[in-house]
Amino acid sequence: MTVGDAPIEDEARQIEGIGESIEMATETRSEIRSVQDILRAACFAGEEHASERRKGAAQEPYINHLLEVAGLVANALTEPDTDLVIAAFLHDIIENTRVSKDDLLHKFGPDVAELVAEVTDDRSLPQAERKRRQIVHASHLSVRAQTIKLADKISNLRGILNSPPADWGLPRKREYFAFANKVVDGFTAPNPFLKAEFDTTQRKFENLTGLASQGKNEVPRTQGES
Ligand code: ZN
């Protein structure tokens, strides 16, 4: 290296340094925007579902379910997917509130709107038909929609284990667990982290109901159930 080259090399290093700083600043800005977008979705979901409670005996605020589903999805990600976490927060919003797919399109963009629509049941149909369609459509869902559905089913199963509806006896709980199993069995690409959690939850239920059928008292009988 000659003495005359030094300033040019310094300048090149400086430019490289500026480039790296700009890249870091851009990454930081996009991370901040991602956190802001997710919180915006969480607040929106909280407002829209404000009057709803879970069916369980504890009557938990509905937002607890949405937080659980979004948390499960976020923990299962192997690469960033802000829209998927947002859609997880909003997965019941079309089904349970007056918010439409169009509203989601304007507020959160087409990707989120499509994802939420994909995991939305047609509420005009009877419950049995809606369940049948969930099983039939499971294999047609996109991989990302399968991730939301799987997290949703885990949350529902945990709800039945920890705080079942007061009028749900063992047969009804068994029926729901069997239904959830059929839906999840239909998935073509279940997220491995969530599938493991789903299987663990199923096993917990089987162990508890096994104990119950042996006449032990670990599973409290719900009201109205013999
Ligand atoms: Zn849900």
- For 35-44, write each residue's pLDDT tens digit: 999 999 999 9
Q: What is the CA(5)–ligand 1 centre distance, in A? A: 64
pLDDT at 168: 93
| Whether pLDDT at 220 is above 60 | no
Distance 159 CA to ligand 1 centre (A): 11
Q: Is residue 165 classed exposed, middle or buried when 0-12, 13-18 and 19+ CB atoms within 10 A define those classes?
A: middle
The rounded radius of gyration (Å) of the Cα atoms in the chain is 23
Q: Which CATH superfamily is domain 3-213 in?
A: Hypothetical protein af1432 (1.10.3210.10)
Q: Which SS3 state, helix, strand or coil, does residue 120 take?
A: coil
- State the distance from the centre of ligand 1 to the C-alpha of 226, rounded, in angstroms: 29
Single-letter amino acid, residue 161: L
- Beta bridge partner(s), residue 61: 53
| pLDDT for 225 | 31
State in Å: Cα 4 to ligand 1 middle: 68
Domain boundaries, the chain: 3-213
Residue identified by tokens 């493991």 is 196
pLDDT on residue 175: 95
- Please count the CA atoms within 13 angstroms of the CA of 109 that sit on its side-chain side: 10
Query: Does 211 have pLDDT greater than 90?
Result: no
Tokens of 120: 């939305």
Confidence bin at 57 (pLDDT 50/70/90):
confident
